[in-house]
């Protein structure tokens, strides 16, 4: 089973290769906002919101004091089972963390309106970055 650093190395190498190939083929002409959104999503999906939140992993420990918020997730999902489903696992993690963020946001601001005028496209691209990073994690787990 690959460790945390092996997952990170694998993810970043594959991500750079994919971006480079798209760039060579002139297939992408992203504006800086979209590029930042996918990079940020990929980073979060590689470092923090990984399939290994289901165990006492380095990714789990990286949450620091906030890891208490991840405990219910960790208790609910057994290691390397549904949390390591290539699509469903990432979607469940995204929903789980989104609910936590929304609850905190609501407790702080007493409203769910963001007041921000950001295109939902950036949010979708950001989530896509997390899903790609999580999929690469599962692929590497299945190779080893
Ligand atoms: Zn794993």
Per-residue pLDDT of 52-73, as tens digits, reads: 999 999 999 999 999 999 999 9
Mean pLDDT of 9-38: 86
Residue ranges near ligand 1 (ion) with Cβ within 5 Å = 51-52, 141
pLDDT-derived band at 49, boundaries 50, 70, 90: very high
Using CA atoms, how far apart are residues 127 and 49, in angstroms rounded to an integer?
11
CA of 141 to the centre of ligand 1 (A): 6
Supply the pTM of this predicted model: 0.87
> What is the distance in A from the centroid of ligand 1 to the CA of 90?
12
The ranges assigned to domains in the chain are 4-143
Residue 34's contacts (CB-CB under 8 Å, 6 or more residues apart) are: 121, 122, 125
DSSP 138: H
> What's the chain's average pLDDT?
89
């Amino acid at each position: 089973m690959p460790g945390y650093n092996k997952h990170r190395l694998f993810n970043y190498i594959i991500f750079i290769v994919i971006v480079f190939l798209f760039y060579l083929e002139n297939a992408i002409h992203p504006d800086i906002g979209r590029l930042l959104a996918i990079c940020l999503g990929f980073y979060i999906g590689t470092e923090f919101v990984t399939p290994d939140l289901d165990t006492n992993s380095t990714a789990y420990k990286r949450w620091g004091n906030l890891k208490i918020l991840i405990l219910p997730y960790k208790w609910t999902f057994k290691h390397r089972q549904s949390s390591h489903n290539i699509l469903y696992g990432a979607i469940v993690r995204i929903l789980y963390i989104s609910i936590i963020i929304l609850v905190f946001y609501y407790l702080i601001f007493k409203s769910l309106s963001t007041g921000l005028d950001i295109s939902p496209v950036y949010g979708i691209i950001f989530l896509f970055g997390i899903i790609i990073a999580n999929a690469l994690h599962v692929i590497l787990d299945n190779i080893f």
